[in-house]
């Protein structure tokens, strides 16, 4: 926004959340289930999984997960990312996605 000459400001009333990492996102994505999983999915089946963030943008897809703990499962139209919630591991994979051979998936 700092370098734009085209901008607009509108009054709004909403709660601010600085989503700076996956742990912050976990607290704001969804109300965790009894096992601590934050899920955004039309249909999900979780067995023995704890403290995961599970997201799919496909309402018609079943998100089935078993035996994961502290993982991210992010399923979008063009990328499926499965990674430990550890900030360094997430940074490693997103850094690699930034390489030229993965440009079509950014």
Mean pLDDT, 10 residues at a time, over the chain (106 residues)? 69 62 69 90 94 89 94 90 88 86 83
What residue segments make up the domains of the chain, in order of their start? 22-105
* Count of Cβ atoms closer than 10 Å to residue 85 Cβ: 19
**β-pairing verdict for 43-47 and 53-56:** unpaired
Q: What is the DSSP letter of 5?
A: S
Count of CA atoms in the C-beta half-sphere (13 A) of 58 = 13
Q: Which pLDDT belongs to residue 44?
A: 92
What distance in Å separates the CA atoms of residue 34 and residue 30, rounded to the nearest whole number?
A: 12
Angstrom CA distances, 74 to 6, 58, 78, stand at: 33, 11, 11
What distance in Å separates the CA atoms of residue 106 and residue 100, rounded to the nearest whole number?
A: 10
What distance in Å separates the CA atoms of residue 97 and residue 61, rounded to the nearest whole number?
A: 24
Q: Which pLDDT belongs to residue 68?
A: 96
């Amino acid at each position: 926004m700092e370098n734009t000459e085209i901008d607009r400001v509108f009054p709004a009333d909403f709660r601010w959340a600085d989503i700076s990492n996956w742990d912050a996102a976990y607290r704001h994505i969804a109300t965790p289930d009894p096992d601590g999983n934050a899920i955004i999915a039309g249909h999900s089946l979780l067995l023995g999984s704890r403290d995961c963030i599970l997201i799919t943008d496909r309402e018609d897809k079943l998100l089935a997960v078993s035996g994961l703990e502290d993982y991210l499962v992010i399923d979008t139209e063009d990328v499926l990312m499965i990674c430990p919630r550890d900030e360094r591991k997430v940074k490693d994979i997103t850094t690699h996605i930034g390489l030229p051979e993965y440009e079509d998936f950014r």
